[in-house]
Copies of this chain bind each other. A is one copy, B any other.
């Protein structure tokens, strides 16, 4: 009986070790994903509720939209994975769902910085004012050329970039692509570009007041 007990114990230890190794490998495996739009109109309330209060079962949303797996829900999930920082460089930002996602991260203590284009910032439906009201740092260009980037960097380690402006029209109607890349070389290039722009658009340097 002692020998059988020992065998069972050894087997349990082996199974646990394998499970831990698989989990570690999954965590360590860099994220690689391509999202294509248009994405059908979908509800992300359950995702936001789970992110706001982890572990609490989400109450079903009463809106008529489906809440399945879409390009938008995948993008939101990637953003919600932020723990420390979110750097955003967005030509235009008018999608309320993505604005709520960013606000939630800000409330959760993630350091959010947002660079945008000065012309598109003031357009009807822009979410920039709302994000500023919420206390999120926003900087914008002051030149004639457009700040046309559309990228996000999560925790200085995951790059989300592509053709997609963060507008509901683009998400639901346009042919668009978004690459999700966890690759130190690409991330560094974009992080450096972000820091250059962040400094260049420092309000202390604005000349048009």
Contact = CB atoms under 8 A, between A and B. Distances in A.
A170 B144 CA distance: 11
A11 B170 CA distance: 62
Interface string A143-187: 011111111000000000111100001101111110100000110
Given A38-B145, A186-B34, A193-B36, A177 B161 contact: yes
A87 interface: no
Given A179-B186, A186-B179, A174 B147 contact: yes
Most B-side CB within 10 Å, residue of A150, A163, A176: A163
Contact of A175 (B141, B170, B179, B185): B141
A190 interface: yes
Interface residues of A, number: 33
Contact of A176 (B36, B141, B149, B169): B149
A177 B173 CA distance: 23
A141 to B, nearest CB: 7
List 10 tightest A-B contacts by C-beta distance, closest first. A145-B173, A34-B189, A148-B174, A146-B174, A145-B174, A147-B175, A148-B176, A148-B163, A150-B163, A149-B163
22 contacts: A32-B185, A32-B186, A34-B186, A34-B190, A36-B193, A145-B172, A145-B173, A146-B174, A146-B175, A148-B164, A148-B170, A148-B174, A149-B177, A150-B163, A161-B177, A162-B162, A162-B163, A163-B163, A175-B197, A177-B190, A177-B193, A179-B186
Given A145-B175, A177-B190, A177-B193, 13 more contacts: A34-B189, A145-B173, A146-B173, A146-B175, A148-B174, A149-B175, A149-B177, A161-B162, A162-B162, A162-B163, A163-B163, A179-B179, A179-B186
